[in-house]
Structure 1
Amino acid sequence: MSLIPRDSWFDFNQFFENAFPALRQSFDIDTFSPRIDIIEKPNSYEITADLPGVKKEDISVQIHNGNLLIEASTSKSEEQKEGDRVIRKERYEGKLMRSFYLGHNLKQDDIEASFTDGVLKVEVPKVEPTAPASKSIEIK
């Protein structure tokens, strides 16, 4: 059996993981950015995030001043038995975080989120932007 990984070198994060495997541990990096899709629809933004291995209760979605923050955490599995030796560990364990600026034309009270099969979907309704009021200035 071959234990040589066959990874895609097109993934920038994976490139550094493969090229410098000890780099992550030496800098004690404990956050990871999940894969996100953002789709702007006529009346809303739809954000889809892949959060494999994360429990629903470990996810936090917040909006503040037009910034959407998605945070999640996974716990480390300590199932290794005495005498076992880890050959390769690729599954991420730790904190996941992404933040996006969506603007101020949002209906914050109507934001909905759902989590199914490791995929988080957030629907952020938009409001019509208010046009700046025009005013005539009297010249003195």
Structure 2
Amino acid sequence: MSLVPRDSWFDFNQMFDHALPTLRHKFDVESFSPRIDIVEKDESFEITADLPGVRKEDISVQINSGNLTIEATTSRDEEQKEGDKVIRKERYEGKLMRSFYLGHNLKQETISASFTDGVLRVEVPKVEPSQPSSTKIEVK
């Protein structure tokens, strides 16, 4: 049983196939970004990103001024035998990127990342925010 009807407005891929078939490829290439979950815990942020078809060597994770950026590239498989005809091509090829602001209370030197079975996991430890100190100023 399908919970979302095949021709519903929620099936954006099919909507573009039917309404604007020539723009579908352009839309996909310019707007693709990986699916990401961010969980804030007491001591860290945990970021999980789905990067199917990406090799570990093609992933870059950077943090700059509290902004975490995940970039990855997938390469095009140019191998095609003579007489083969591509009927439909839906798998993304190109550059993927997501960026998030996590704040300034981070331990940048202890950020860790792992990549297994197409899933990237990044752990960003937090530091306790410094409490503003108060000083009494004598009025003369």
User: Shared topology, TM-score over 0.5?
Assistant: yes
Q: What residue number does 1:3 align with?
A: none
Q: Does 1:54 align with 2:57?
A: no
Q: Does 1:103 align with 2:81?
A: no
Q: What residue number does 2:134 align with?
A: 134
CA contact (8 A) 2:59 2:73 kept: yes
Unaligned runs of 5+ in 2: 1-5
Deviation at 1:134, TM superposition (A): 1.9
Deviation at 1:16, TM superposition (A): 6.2
Q: What residue number does 2:88 align with?
A: 88
Change (3 A) 1:92 1:17: farther
Deviation at 1:17, TM superposition (A): 4.6
Counterpart code for 1:93: E
Change (3 A) 1:75 1:121: same
**TM-score normalised by the chain length of structure 2:** 0.83
Percent pairwise identity? 75
Unaligned runs of 5+ in 1: 1-5
How far apart, CA to CA, are the structure 2 residues paired with 1:20 and 1:113?
39
**TM-score normalised by the chain length of structure 1:** 0.83
Deviations 1:33-82 (A, max 9, x none): 10000000110000000000000000000000000000000000112222
Q: Does 1:78 align with 2:89?
A: no
How far apart, CA to CA, are the structure 2 residues paired with 1:81 and 1:106?
51
Change (3 A) 1:29 1:92: closer
Aligned residues: 134
Change (3 A) 1:117 1:135: same
Deviations 1:5-46 (A, max 9, x none): x6985365x366534342254579456210000000110000
Q: Does 1:115 align with 2:115?
A: yes
Deviates more, 1:43-52 or 1:27-36: 27-36
The RMSD of aligned alpha carbons is: 2.5
